[in-house]
Structure 1
């Protein structure tokens, strides 16, 4: 019998009915539209998130025409809201992981930044949950509970009050070594009196739901990026993948190692399953598809699928630092802003679009270099998934700048398939992790095309440009 896997993301909620072989039997997708506000605010309407989960899940089941034995849920990771635990009603908007309004909270704690990094494996930054939770409490409401969206959605489905170990590890409120709530960190963020959800394994049945028909178990709770890491078979230390979606997210399995990154990357729980809690290092590019959607809204590009038909082989000297929502590792500069340089009268729209593509790839290349420094060796290939892989342009640019093969995951449903694998572990206690993850072959492999000298010169120039465009701190 199949699994209904729900991937509740930033721009859409996708529901996939997955069979025992890992094949997608039916898919339904509902758009969700974040609101971008002045001052760096990014919000979701919680009601729209819940409606999208129900609608997508029910549509996928109707298309599959059968029953499922469990519902799995992958979540955005660091998006938070306040809600009433008695009624399940939201008491605030959902504050999205991209939201920067908690910068003041981080500034107040800057003297503790090194201690926080050592304790959590993360960087003190508004990207993570705790600063947003503290800001929400100070600014919006002191009522109810404040949690990540997965806890709220699971409560709506089952009545339970839980979160999974991977999601909790993205909060700045858990110890990297213990993967449990940390009293000192809760005190630092002013959250010591909050009621917090129980942390569960990703392969644990957490309750039952009848929201999609017959009563079935809910299991396979996990952060979306970690779910994709599992689906792509990155179960051995050193295996690396990058999801090319709203943002770009590089994750590398580092096994049971609990040593924080020394290069500005973050370290968190990959998943907790079958008695093991591997960690992963990760780096983020805040705007990938969202940067190209911005380009589209400006009228420079009709559709994202047009990226492979730009008709130009280079940017005519234009460089782009697409920091439309700031720069993450290794800069961690939320005040960074996007920049184009090198434009002239010969510059055309397609040159600007290609420069954005190369700017996204350049940030990913910088992240992979940091991984190599952390682990002592670079990956010999990179697996990629996500909506932008429908075009070869971004994957090819990554291959050119990393000078390693880039393997494209053959399914657009990596996150859902990873969550389904964890749910399968929950309902089949004798199943091994390796057997729950279907094997796969890349749909395409992009080999580097640029000469080594061109790659080196581009990366040196791009990095210098990124550094030069950072605002001066006073």
Structure 2
């Protein structure tokens, strides 16, 4: 690919980012477009499929403005995962809201199937939880029968190329895939009542994944040669099998190559190119969004919250951000958010520090459930917070290596699409001798947040 550019499209929860990457792996241009998120009821998190597509087209048009069409050879796509999309099989138009990965309206669907949780875990590699797509797809099909369904990657592939396909790694996050065979599981389709005719066909993460239709302006005629889930793409960009990758975003993904090491974390397909590479992963529902919530509560900005946290102690305050339940390693979708340790002396700086510490504690919970790590490979927007990175190193007692390059999900998609090898450099945060604090108070706070039901 040395003779042309790769266009990387990273469709995330809050925005779509596009990078134009040279054959040497260097980012030469970038652009982004926001995507609205709506919260119509408690526990409901939704987007609009048309607005997601519009954001892709807007970001791509800005990134490619003035670039000769022949200069771009291929497109790589990374997307948010688990979000559920439904569209009309006749018109191809969205037929309902996109239920975001944080959306909880599939909880009743899961509760009705709780006796089958062990089978679901064995086949899919995932705990029975409304975070994954299956329960959300069932909820959508109850209201839009005889529609086509998929995840964000399959919606974009359908809209851009006309082909109803889903990439193997994204398919492994639906809870409908037999993670051992890489095929839709008849038993899981039957359990959730999802007709096979509504689902996309499963394709590898790289290869001929379709050509953009002529009606899409600067993207028209470009071949899509790689698709990855955003967390999977970040892992691919790191290009290392050492340590544990942590993407610090709205939520957090903690992932390492190799099979799952226990019931607290998931077994997933990182990518299939063409053979599947399995990975162990733990998902955290609220990390960066916790800091954003505290900022809104205090009537300030996330930057100010980070500044307050840098110069403060939490003074025993613990914030457990179970806004939509707790995911790994607890898997308790009925957990409730708590703030404990409050005193009359608690002020904004203590709350800010507790919010930042909650991110590091949750990541530490997952890493410990995975059996520990030799190091943490960190990426994502929240890694710009030096205090968070240092707290993380101290809590785990291992180095945290922060990628200096931004947008690793997009870079991972570009690398796979174009056979590139981006050269990453890192800042390193070493654990400070004697700085590690006891985590028992955090664990006590989590126990208060858990529901009366046994965590799953």
Deviations 1:358-400 (A, max 9, x none): 111101001000111xxxxx32110111111122122122111
1:247–1:385: structure 2 CA closer, same or farther, 3 Å change rule? same
Which residue is equivalent to 1:430?
none
Matched, 1:245 2:228: no
Which residue is equivalent to 2:347?
348
Cα distance in 1 for partners of 2:423, 2:210 equals 29
The 8 Å contact of residues 138 and 192 in structure 2, kept in 1 or not, is answered as: yes
Query: How much does 1:114 deviate?
Result: 0.6
Which residue is equivalent to 2:234?
228
The 8 Å contact of residues 308 and 392 in structure 1, kept in 2 or not, is answered as: no
Which residue is equivalent to 1:291?
290
Secondary structure of 1:216's aligned partner: coil
The 8 Å contact of residues 332 and 451 in structure 2, kept in 1 or not, is answered as: no
Query: How much does 1:311 deviate?
Result: 5.3
Which among 57, 61, 70 is matched to residue 60 of structure 2?
57
Q: Which moved more, 1:240-249 or 1:204-213?
A: 204-213
Query: How much does 1:239 deviate?
Result: 3.6
The 8 Å contact of residues 308 and 353 in structure 2, kept in 1 or not, is answered as: no
Which residue is equivalent to 1:270?
270
Which residue is equivalent to 2:160?
157
Cα distance in 2 for partners of 1:245, 1:450 equals 28
Query: How much does 1:305 deviate?
Result: 6.2
Which residue is equivalent to 1:76?
80
Which residue is equivalent to 1:216?
222
Deviations 1:327-386 (A, max 9, x none): 1112111121221111212212011011011111101001000111xxxxx321101111
The 8 Å contact of residues 228 and 271 in structure 2, kept in 1 or not, is answered as: yes
| Structure 1: gaps spanning 5 or more residues | 373-377, 426-435
The 8 Å contact of residues 17 and 64 in structure 1, kept in 2 or not, is answered as: no
Query: How much does 1:108 deviate?
Result: 1.1
Cα distance in 2 for partners of 1:215, 1:439 equals 29
Deviations 1:207-233 (A, max 9, x none): 111424252101211111000000011
Cα distance in 1 for partners of 2:66, 2:442 equals 47
Matched, 1:471 2:442: no
Cα distance in 2 for partners of 1:87, 1:437 equals 40
Matched, 1:449 2:432: yes
Cα distance in 2 for partners of 1:305, 1:158 equals 43
1:201–1:163: structure 2 CA closer, same or farther, 3 Å change rule? same
Cα distance in 2 for partners of 1:63, 1:351 equals 49
The 5-angstrom pairing of residues 324-403 of structure 1 reads: 324-372=323-371, 378-403=372-397
Query: How much does 1:205 deviate?
Result: 1.5
Which among 180, 198, 201 is matched to residue 177 of structure 1?
180
Secondary structure of 1:40's aligned partner: coil
TM (normalized to structure 1)?
0.90
Matched, 1:407 2:406: no
Deviations 1:309-335 (A, max 9, x none): 545242122122122222111211112
The 8 Å contact of residues 9 and 16 in structure 2, kept in 1 or not, is answered as: yes
CA-based RMSD of the aligned residues comes to 1.8
Query: How much does 1:63 deviate?
Result: 6.3
Cα distance in 2 for partners of 1:415, 1:305 equals 27
1:355–1:204: structure 2 CA closer, same or farther, 3 Å change rule? same
Matched, 1:188 2:191: yes
1:261–1:141: structure 2 CA closer, same or farther, 3 Å change rule? farther
TM (normalized to structure 2)?
0.94
Cα distance in 2 for partners of 1:30, 1:365 equals 32
The 8 Å contact of residues 43 and 103 in structure 2, kept in 1 or not, is answered as: yes
Cα distance in 2 for partners of 1:43, 1:313 equals 35
The 8 Å contact of residues 243 and 374 in structure 2, kept in 1 or not, is answered as: no
Matched, 1:204 2:210: no
